[in-house]
Amino acid sequence: GENVEQHPSTLSVQEGDSAVIKCTYSDSASNYFPWYKQELGKRPQLIIDIRSNVGEKKDQRIAVTLNKTAKHFSLHITETQPEDSAVYFCAASTGRNTGRRALTFGSGTRLQVQP
């Protein structure tokens, strides 16, 4: 089955700096890669996603890049703010061909933005 590795497990940045979180996946059939943000004690919330037919997607201060050849994708947050502090999860879809349509999640990155 799909295996998603996520790094780093913790990340501390100064307010205004950029943060980068990286993920790799194992199943070359995966074709959908969302990112979720989870604040303490709350539900995971979708913040951005990318499909396999594009290499980059941007939404204000958040961008995601995908390298299908290398099977890795990254989340970039620019001009970080204290409210960006949370745990971020990457995920990959195992694809319709396997009969499974669930997402496989990475282990999470705890981002701390220091004011």
Task: Please give the residue ranges that form the binding site for another protein (CB under 8 A).
Answer: 1, 6, 31-32, 34, 36, 42-46, 49, 51, 89, 93-97, 99-108
> C-beta of 30: minimal distance to another protein in Å?
9
> C-beta of 29: minimal distance to another protein in Å?
9
Q: Closer to another protein by CB, 52 or 78: give it.
A: 52
Q: Closer to another protein by CB, 48 or 113: give it.
A: 48
In this structure, are residues 46 and 59 in contact, taking their beta carbons and an 8 Å threshold?
no
> C-beta of 48: minimal distance to another protein in Å?
11
Phi and psi at residue 108, to the nearest 5°? 100, 150
Q: Closer to another protein by CB, 82 or 102: give it.
A: 102
What are the start-end ranges of the E strands in the chain? 4-7, 10-14, 19-25, 32-38, 45-51, 56-59, 62-67, 72-77, 86-93, 103-105, 109-114
Q: What's the rounded Cα separation, in Å, for the pair 69 and 46?
A: 25
Q: Closer to another protein by CB, 76 or 100: give it.
A: 100
